[in-house]
Amino acid sequence: MSFIDKLNEQIGHEFAASQQYVAIAVHYDANTLPRLAAVFYQQAVEERNHAMMLVQYVLDVGETVSIPGVAEPKTEFGDIVEPVALALDQEKRVSQQISALAGAARESGDYMGEQFMQWFIKEQVEEVSSMSDLLAVVERSRENPMIVEEYIARERPSSEALDPTAPAAAGGAL
């Protein structure tokens, strides 16, 4: 499988992650946990934009973009912890996928592709760290979700500044 084929496959993984985060956000929204919901709505947009960055790169290098279908996300959870644990597992899996993509680009001598993947590697370190922290707080606050809501209000900014080093996204990251 070529590097471009693997990028097209990753586009599907990123869209699937976006849908999973929407499902998690809706779960928290339905349980009147608006700050947890907001975290995951924001994550859903980020994952969608990651997919669109990959789309733009494939377009930029003159290759054919494939938008694969995605599996239905998990929508029912047993407690406040389960969705965050799922999100952390997902971020760890994406980190492995991104590392494999960078390795595939290197192996095929595609140095532009390898350089393109560097931003995603940095992003995944941040994503895993952030989700690990959130999981620790949620696990400690399992019996009182309002502590998590307070933590998010205090420790997590509602909007992050745009990263000027981020690759361009198809459609301008709408």
Spell out the domain ranges in the chain: 3-159
Which segments in the chain show pLDDT lower than 50? none
pTM higher than 0.75, yes or no? Answer: yes
Alpha carbons 126 and 47: distance in angstroms, whole number:
13
Q: What is the pLDDT of residue 34?
A: 96
Q: What's the pLDDT at 161?
A: 63
The CATH number, out of the four listed (3.40.50.300, 3.40.980.10, 1.20.1260.10, 3.50.50.60), of the domain defined by the range 3-159: 1.20.1260.10
Instruction: Please give the C-alpha separations between residue 59 and each of 9, 20, 63, 66, 102, in angstroms, as whole numbers.
Output: 15, 26, 6, 10, 18
The pLDDT, as a whole number, for residue 14 is: 97
Sequence-ordered alpha helix ranges (H) in 61-170: 81-107, 111-140, 145-155
Amino acid at 88: L
